[in-house]
Structure 1
């Protein structure tokens, strides 16, 4: 465990695996009638409580300052609350595998934002990688989801907006990371802040009675919270060890898990153009990743 905690690649692999589990879990929950806002709340609240307990058990003493409060609110909104809601709202329309492919664009958008905010200077390889990734995204978007079940354009655009949110969060958390806080504390605080935001939205849109839908999937919430809690602990550690662009590659690992589960366990099928677009996205991600190892 100690070697994984200090290895960027090990952290990336573990975080991506746990991240990828969320999409097939979410699709099953949505098909059972659980609202997307409720499922996103379950993840945020459950993970926040578990991580807070871990922090306290290990002798941590969380503190709340105006700086940390700002960090929690902004990071929670753009990294967790909104993109998670979008993912679970879109997955019944797009499929777990298709949504996973969209998430793989996160490294490309992260590089774009890193360049824009001066976190990373551009170079030719990075620019070409961004272009290749976008071409792949356009190809995937054109297929509009599973074979024989084309989604509305609005849902395709929602799927494309997920990696934009994730990328913005990756860069923001690096820029504004509080110097006096560790990864577990920040993960707990951001998840609890996201839970509050999601709960407010849920109560106004679906009402308290929506919680009854969780009885349709009695074991799934516990499995999702366990996976998400582990994912967030490694996620914030990866932010420190690997940096924002390397962190964004969890979408690539998660896509392999989500796509595999969608096809094998949920019976999803995709057009050849979707696979070709996914391949181009993979090439674009590989190029933008390689660009981080070179001076701009």
Structure 2
């Protein structure tokens, strides 16, 4: 466990595998009639309660000063509430595997947003990665989901909004990480904040009665809460150990797991063009990652630790 906690690669693989379970489990839940906002609440409330129990057991506490509360609220919205609502809204239309492919765009959008916001300027290699990733995204978007059941373009566009929100979260969490706050405390606090935000939305939307559907799928609920709790504890640790761009690579593993489960377990089928676009995306992400690795090495060389 100590090796996992300190290894960026091990954390990456574990996070990605747990992330890949989200679209298939969400597809099963929405097929049972559970609204996307309710299922997003299940994830954040379940994970938040489990993680707060861990925080209390470790004798730690969540800081509630103004800066930390703002951080938790913004993180909750752009990293959890919005992406999860999008995921569970589009997965019945696009398929679990196709939705999982959206995760792979997170590194490309992370670098693109970093550039737009002036956080960093990309090298020629980084710019090439962004462009290749964009070509891959357009190629995948053109297939519009499963073979023989093309979705309306609005669902594809909403699917593409998933990595945009995740990328914004990657940048914000790193830029505004509160001092003297650990990964468990931030994971617990941000998920509880997301649960509160989602519950308000559920009440406004008049969906409270849909909670009665959850007892009909107890194993799916249990698996989702267990996977989310484990993933988000490791998620913030990976953020601390690896940084935002390395963190965004969990989409590779998550996409692969989502595709395998979607095809073998849920019987999904995708056209050759979808696989071609996914391969192009992979190239774009690999180039983007290589550019980031070179930039990080250059930064270490230019600013060695004392």
- Within 5 Å, give how 1:45-194 maps onto structure 2: 45-194=45-194
- Within 5 Å, give how 1:276-287 maps onto structure 2: 276-287=276-287
CA distance in 1, matches of 2:53, 2:212: 26
Alpha-carbon offset, residue 125 of structure 1? 0.9
CA distance in 1, matches of 2:207, 2:158: 24
- Match of 2:21, SS state, is helix
Alpha-carbon offset, residue 206 of structure 1? 3.7
Show the counterpart of 1:37.
Answer: 37
Cα distance per residue 1:145-202 (max 9 Å; x no partner): 0011110111000000000000000000000000110000000011000001111111
Show the counterpart of 1:258.
Answer: 258
Show the counterpart of 2:244.
Answer: 244
Alpha-carbon offset, residue 222 of structure 1? 1.2
Alpha-carbon offset, residue 140 of structure 1? 0.4
Cα distance per residue 1:6-47 (max 9 Å; x no partner): 111111000011111111000000111111000000000000
Show the counterpart of 2:220.
Answer: 220
Alpha-carbon offset, residue 207 of structure 1? 2.7
| Structure 1 gap ranges (5+) | none
- Match of 2:293, SS state, is coil
Query: Considering only aligned residues, what root-mean-square deviation do their CA atoms show, in Å?
Result: 1.0
Alpha-carbon offset, residue 216 of structure 1? 2.5
Alpha-carbon offset, residue 115 of structure 1? 2.2
CA distance in 2, matches of 1:100, 1:165: 15
Cα distance per residue 1:69-120 (max 9 Å; x no partner): 0001111111100010000010000000000011210000001122233433
CA distance in 2, matches of 1:279, 1:35: 32
Alpha-carbon offset, residue 61 of structure 1? 2.0
- Match of 1:105, SS state, is helix
TM-score by length of 1: 0.98
Show the counterpart of 2:289.
Answer: 289
Cα distance per residue 1:214-260 (max 9 Å; x no partner): 12212211111010000000000000111001100111110001010
CA distance in 2, matches of 1:211, 1:274: 35
TM-score by length of 2: 0.95
